[in-house]
Amino acid sequence: MTEQLLRALLDDASLFPPASLPMPAAVAAHRRHQAAWYSALCGPFVCADTRLADLRAAMSTGNAAPLELSLVVTGGADALPAALDAVAAEPWIRLRAVEVPAAKGGEPTDAVSAVVTALDNAPLAAAPGYVEVPIAAIAEPAAAGPLLAIVDEHGYRPKLRTGGVTADAFPADATLARCLAAVVDRRTPFKCTAGLHHAVRHTAADTGFEHHGFLNVLLAVGAASRGADTAELTALLAERDPAAVAARISALAEEAVAEIRYLFTSFGTCSTDEPVTDLVALGLLAQP
């Protein structure tokens, strides 16, 4: 069951903070992960539209094999057409997902609608479209339903930001719990991005930031799918005992695993090595 739970869970976001690898190093590391014994865990390479020229240069230096790409359109809805045109011009790119943030500072409904409209008019070539929704709005029951409906009813998926380079970028346990409950209630597939550096909830030694664990999130999604209340989801997200988290993961039934991964499609991680190391240490992944 663990293999099914972890398959293609890790999107390679090593270009993004805090790793911020140079493009050649990021591409080389991605190729290494693809060829490694844990390659089944690895998803596409995540790259911003503003870095496509750098990616092209890196690919021209002996990296000719096709690259599966999740494209982050940093300029939002208005930048989507040009970004997709740039990708379409590169025959070595296999577009696997498109991620577009809703504009900040205005009415969330208008911002999300603008992204959805842009995606509706874009040639996605069957790649799923992710809309980065304001997590504070999704955490409010009155706002969550209408916002998620805009995304879901057009066939797109929400993207939840679970961390960043400042402490306030990490949502509180109760906030994330309400977000997960809202998304799961609609049975809407989603992804997460940022902050899920390790398997289990912890305090980062270098920054003091409180980080969510990706296994905690998987468990919370499973609990939400069986109707757990926000208090139970919050407790699962707050659990810091690695042994307790690993035991819960190991005890998941086949049906629960399938439901969890239908809903929680993947997360962007700036380090693939760290999650793999954690999973091996927890006994959830065996190195041959």
Distance CA 73, CA 57 (A): 19
Distance CA 37, CA 40 (A): 8
pLDDT digits 0-9 by tens, 58-81: 988 766 689 999 999 999 999 999
> Mean pLDDT across the stretch 25-33?
96
**Would 286 be classed as within a structural domain?**
no
**Would 78 be classed as within a structural domain?**
yes
pLDDT digits 0-9 by tens, 173-218: 999 999 999 999 999 999 999 999 999 999 999 999 999 999 999 9
**Would 288 be classed as within a structural domain?**
no
Amino acid at 140: E
pLDDT of residue 65: 83
> Mean pLDDT across the stretch 39-59?
96
- Residue ranges making up the domain that contains 171: 2-281
With contact defined as beta carbons under 8 Å apart, do 76 and 42 qualify?
no
Closest CA to 55 of 78, 101, 19, 21: 21
pLDDT of residue 64: 67
pLDDT of residue 62: 64
pTM over 0.85: yes
pLDDT of residue 250: 97
With contact defined as beta carbons under 8 Å apart, do 68 and 27 qualify?
no
pLDDT digits 0-9 by tens, 224-277: 999 999 999 999 999 999 999 999 999 999 999 999 999 999 999 999 999 999
**Would 287 be classed as within a structural domain?**
no
Distance CA 288, CA 286 (A): 6
**Would 14 be classed as within a structural domain?**
yes
**Would 70 be classed as within a structural domain?**
yes
pLDDT of residue 268: 97
Angle, CA 60 vertex, CA 54 and CA 66 arms, to 5°: 95
Weakest-pLDDT range from 51-60, 114-123, 217-226, 241-250: 51-60
pLDDT digits 0-9 by tens, 89-98: 999 999 999 9
CATH code, domain with 113: 3.20.20.70
Amino acid at 12: D
**Would 145 be classed as within a structural domain?**
yes
Tokens 């000719």 belong to residue? 64
| Average pLDDT over the chain, rounded to an integer | 95
**Would 277 be classed as within a structural domain?**
yes
Number of domains in the chain: 1
Residue 150 neighbours by CB under 8 Å, 6+ apart: 109, 112, 113, 116
* Rg of the chain taking only CA atoms, in angstroms: 18
Distance CA 9, CA 42 (A): 6
